[in-house]
Amino acid sequence: MTRETANENFFDVIVIGAGHAGCEAALAAARMGARTLLLNLYLDNMALMACNPSIGGPAKGHLTREIDALGGEQAIASDASTLHIRWLNTSKGAGVRTLRAQCDLVLFHQWYKEVCEKQSNLHLRQEEVTDLWIENGRVRGVKTRTESVYQAGAVILTTGVYLGGKVHIGLVNFASGPLGQMPATELGASLRKAGFDVERLKTGTTPRIHADSVDFSGLEPQESENEPLAFSHWGEKKRYSGFACHITRTSTETHDIIRSWLDRSPLFTGVIEGKGPRYCPSIEDRVMRFPHKESHLVFLEPVATGSREIYMQNFTTSLPLEAQIQMVRSLPGCEKAEIMRPGYAIEYDYMPPVQLKPSLETRNVRGLYCAGQINGTSGYEEAAAQGIIAGINAVLGYRGEDPLVFDRSSGYMAVLVDDLVTKGTTEPYRMLTSRCEYRLLLRHDNADMRMAPVGRKLGLIDDYRWKELQSRWKALEAELERLDKTRIRPCDRLREMLIGLGEPEITQTLSAADLLKRPGFTWEMTAELAPPPETPDREVRERAAVAIKYEGYIRRQEKQVEQMKKMEKVRIPEDLDYNAIDGLLSESRQKLARLRPETLGRAGRISGVTPADLMLLRVVLEQKRRGGDRCAGTRQRETPAE
């Protein structure tokens, strides 16, 4: 039977949920040529920005750039809906600098919806999946509330916070998805029946207030950058104005109000079961955890061009509406504010991600993949990054090809996935720059060089975009060569520059590259002393300066990566009997047997596995490689007497 005459309910890949993970997964699968079905509870909330309508920020912006370079859609959708954009972490160095864009949540959603509707090989359907069809340890398809059955070679779960969703406002709670959307009520039972460990997490959001009820006159505005910017590597750089964010802050009065309502807090009365995000706590949690702080910053941020709603960043709460009104009106500028939507907490089902392989395929059901908040993460960027990886690997798995598995030196998305499947999480995982040990190699500016070749090989980067990248890389290479060869002699102007920077004078000719390595010396200074024949564009200039300034540190990290890769090359047989290895600590033996790390490097990143355990495991693997089998009988470690 040809593809054209195949049963219309048969697909290569089915994606359940059209949030940020689901849309990226479905688009990646379809663009790789797979006949793909995207099922969603309600098609009019695809890529819904249920929390803050923003993309990027520390580490998250790096993820968005990597998704874009791999052939994903998030950065493009962000550029199509940007209201306000800024650089963050500019004072902390190139390794952590990135963009954050405040988006029009309506335009963002509409962009994704239209792109998905127009994508060839991608079929959209509004359905609630109630059951997984699993036979002999392999997923065969899904069943829906309308009793439809869809068959597929691979299924991707991207259920977000809709899976078993329960909203809390004060001591009132009810089944719901975010912002009053309908929840998925039956699929969780199907996952438990299939043998998966399913637990609960919680997240929350802030009150939305009416802009016309806010007095902005005394608040500090935060304008967009004055330079043209875009998130996507191929985006048109633009300046943005007219949608400033504003800064207010809590006071002792705010904190007193919060404390007076704690007896009605679902968080502090134990009504909420799931654990919340450590790095984005509610305002009541902040007040109780940091009693010495007299105030907390609150950012008032626009949500859409056609809306008067204001999002109150850093003011997440699940207290009763009456309490929220008092809290909001205690803030400067918000004395007469009207709440349009109350803040709330939402609990939902997730599957601890140690049940996944590095490809995001589940360990005990072949062909079933998970991405996004079902894996315990938080954030649109984390979800989208997992989504594109799951979409790619679902297609590769269906074709019988090796999965795409990045090592930690490849990108933030690699760190994200490795942390999840190796260490797991018991709270909503948020990507942080501190989680990444190779930050100088994984910069915002070089995501294209790291990810685009992979996207091109997979068919996710078309000819036009590939040629544009090659042209940009060629220009960068030429500029680096020019700076290295350009000689600058000592002169009065150079002396003035160095004195101004507090740098010692030079008495001999240096290259422009050597001068750039000095603290504070910029590309523009080198150009003043030795003008180039033709000025390269701003991005090329900045990338060249970063590559030269951090050259020594980059080489050091590259050496560390080589050492890490040696550990990653040592494969661990899937059927290795850890119980037969004498000398392993009991905790290590249990975790290794449960998580089944594929490599020695991944085994070393499991919490509780000690360096001594790792050395012992390496000896055993080497013995097995040479044909011996001396797992048992290894000398036992001495343990202190009880």
Question: Residue 324 contacts by C-beta under 8 Å, 6 or more apart in sequence?
Answer: 207, 317, 339, 342, 343
| pLDDT band of 629, cuts 50, 70, 90 | low
Average pLDDT over residues 152-178: 97
Fold of 463-555: Arc Repressor Mutant, subunit A (1.10.10)
Indicate if the pLDDT at residue 8 is higher than 90: no
What are the start and end residues of each CATH 1.10.150.570 domain in the chain? 570-625
Q: What is the pLDDT of residues 364-393, one digit of tens each?
A: 999 999 999 999 999 999 999 999 999 999
Tally of CB atoms within 10 A around 640: 4
User: What CATH superfamily is the domain 570-625?
Assistant: GidA associated domain, C-terminal subdomain (1.10.150.570)
Per the CB < 8 A criterion, the answer to whether 72 and 24 are in contact is yes
What are the start and end residues of each CATH 3.50.50.60 domain in the chain? 10-201+348-457
Q: What is the pTM of this model?
A: 0.92
- Report the b/e string of 399-427 with b at 16+ CB within 10 A: eeeebbbbbbbbbbbbbbbbbbbbebbeb
What are the start and end residues of each CATH 1.10.10.1800 domain in the chain? 463-555
Average pLDDT of the residues of the chain: 93
DSSP code, position 70: H
Comparing C-alpha atoms, which of 160, 146, 188 is closest to residue 9? Answer: 146
Q: Is 547 helix (H, G, I), strand (E, B) or coil?
A: helix
The top-level CATH class assigned to 10-201+348-457 is alpha beta
Indicate if the pLDDT at residue 633 is higher than 70: no
Q: What is the pLDDT of residues 424-453, one digit of tens each?
A: 999 999 999 999 989 999 999 999 999 999
Indicate if the pLDDT at residue 607 is higher than 50: yes
Average pLDDT over residues 21-48: 97
Q: In 223-343, which ranges are continuous DSSP H helix?
A: 252-260, 283-289, 321-329
206 burial class (0-12, 13-18, 19+ CB within 10 angstroms)?
A: buried
Q: What is the pLDDT of residues 558-599, one digit of tens each?
A: 998 998 888 888 899 988 999 888 888 888 888 898 888 989
What are the start and end residues of each CATH 2.40.30.260 domain in the chain? 208-346
Indicate if the pLDDT at residue 514 is higher than 60: yes
Architecture of the domain delimited by 208-346: Beta Barrel (2.40)
Average pLDDT over residues 290-305: 95
